[in-house]
Structure 1
Amino acid sequence: MGTTAQLGTGWRLGELAARPGTPSGERLAAGRHEFGDGLLQVPAGDGPVPLVVLFHGAGSNPERVLAVMKDRPALVYAPKSGARTWDAIHGNFGPDVEALDRSLAELFEHFEVSRAAIAGFSDGASYALSLGLVNGTLFEHVVAFSPGFVVPGARAGKPEVFVSHGRQDGVLPIEATSRRIVPALRIVGYRVDYREFTGGHEVPPSVADAAFRRIV
């Protein structure tokens, strides 16, 4: 029997109930699949795999954000936000959390997950940081490429955090975002690998490599 807990009980707080366990279903074939509300990228091979949940930016889509993963040997789930951006960006956690919880529960029925990370770019980075800190007992790593803020809320566990930001970012200027976010995280005890780079609102390949090196 796979993993399923009672779903949805804490989704308004950003809490995910799904947890990895022993899969009861057949492993999906290597390649890209439509899955849940987004896309699932399955690596070749058998056995346990690292999972990366990857959130796109505002107005973007799962296919576009998957480019930051290239051909890394990880199971990558990139959901699609229900609206133009993620629910908590303009208010509270809501249906996007519920949809993710259900998709993860189904995913854990098909794959044995060795470790899990949550990541995103821009609004997706803000969402990954916010959900990752709430669900630090599920996600060992949180990766935020050019985040804007962190949604206040309860915290669980102490995941390792990676944050990157371009010094010339004109969309989410660094002074008002990461240069405030990172010190605040460190003050409350999070270990943060922070990388500033010369550039704008983007994810340079070298930054993505640094972020995922310890995960995949």
Structure 2
Amino acid sequence: MEAKSPQPGTYRTDGQALLRVPSAPPPYRLAVVLHGAGATADQALTWLRPQPGANGLLLLAPQSSGSTWDLIAGGYGPDVIRLDAALAEVFRKFPVEAAGVAIAGFSDGASYALTLGLSNGDLFGTVLAFSPGFMAPMLRHGRPRIFISHGTADRVLPIERCSRRIVRTLRDDDYPVTYREFPGGHDVPADIAAEALRWWSTP
């Protein structure tokens, strides 16, 4: 993976993450995608990779060190270290647009994406949160744009005590939030993922 002539494909980085390199020419936009509890980095890539507009994206999917992300399991630790290492490798090897970095996630990964995105809004200009349960930023930096979606029949993370509450809090704090509810359960529907990518591409 050389910065001047990256080969398309999916690679494992030194930071214990998967990196999908597109066939489109640089510079790239980058999306960090975080899997849900009990899932894998490979699964995280499946939400955005097939969608229209993803052919020009670098997709970085870290693997959590445990069954879910460190914050949910008790506090920041090995997963932040892994993510930092993976991001450093990507930025070293690939030309990434400074204003084109997003963090996305599903379920526990969405909660982690919101938390990291609000804490590091100077890096992550966009947050894509699919069915989050909560957010817990210790500090807030920057003002990222936020896209949140949630199924109205979600029995894993019920919408009323999760996304509806999160969205109200964010809007009360004057964050720019686009919110989509859909008739379904705990899922990332293809049309919602496609809409999220279109929304990110057209600020």
Considering the TM-score relative to the shorter chain, is it more than 0.5?
A: yes
Is the contact between residue 27 and residue 110 of structure 1 (CA under 8 Å) also seen in structure 2?
Answer: no
Q: Determine the structure 2 residue equivalent to 1:88.
A: 71
Between 115-124 and 105-114, report the one with greater CA deviation: 105-114
Is the contact between residue 34 and residue 109 of structure 2 (CA under 8 Å) also seen in structure 1?
Answer: yes
Match of 1:34 among 12, 15, 23: 12
Paired letter, 1:95: P
Between 160-169 and 38-47, report the one with greater CA deviation: 38-47
SS at match of 1:85: coil
- CA deviation map 1:21-71 (0-9, x unaligned): xxx955531011112212110001322000000000000001112111134
Q: Give identity over the alignment, percent.
A: 50
Between 34-43 and 119-128, report the one with greater CA deviation: 34-43
Match of 1:63 among 42, 50, 67: 42
Paired letter, 2:167: V
Structure 1: state its 5+ residue gaps: 1-23
- CA deviation map 1:150-183 (0-9, x unaligned): 0141100000000000000011011110010000
Q: Determine the structure 2 residue equivalent to 1:166.
A: 151
Match of 1:113 among 77, 96, 99: 96
Size of the aligned set, in residue pairs, is 193
Q: Determine the structure 2 residue equivalent to 1:12.
A: none
- For 1:87 and 1:69, locate their aligned partners in 2 and report how far apart those are by CA, in whole Å: 24
- For 1:89 and 1:53, locate their aligned partners in 2 and report how far apart those are by CA, in whole Å: 18
Is the contact between residue 17 and residue 86 of structure 2 (CA under 8 Å) also seen in structure 1?
Answer: no
Match of 1:79 among 55, 62, 69: 62
Matching of residues 43-58 of structure 1 within 5 Å: 43-58=22-37
Between 63-72 and 118-127, report the one with greater CA deviation: 63-72
Is the contact between residue 142 and residue 159 of structure 1 (CA under 8 Å) also seen in structure 2?
Answer: yes
- For 2:199 and 2:96, locate their aligned partners in 1 and report how far apart those are by CA, in whole Å: 16
Is the contact between residue 35 and residue 106 of structure 2 (CA under 8 Å) also seen in structure 1?
Answer: yes
**Cα RMSD (Å):** 1.3
Matching of residues 76-155 of structure 1 within 5 Å: 76-114=59-97, 115-155=100-140
Paired letter, 1:29: Q
- CA deviation map 1:191-211 (0-9, x unaligned): 100000000000111110111
Distance change >3 Å, CA 199–CA 102, structure 1 → 2: same
- For 2:188 and 2:81, locate their aligned partners in 1 and report how far apart those are by CA, in whole Å: 28
1:99: how far off?
Answer: 1.2
Is the contact between residue 162 and residue 192 of structure 1 (CA under 8 Å) also seen in structure 2?
Answer: yes
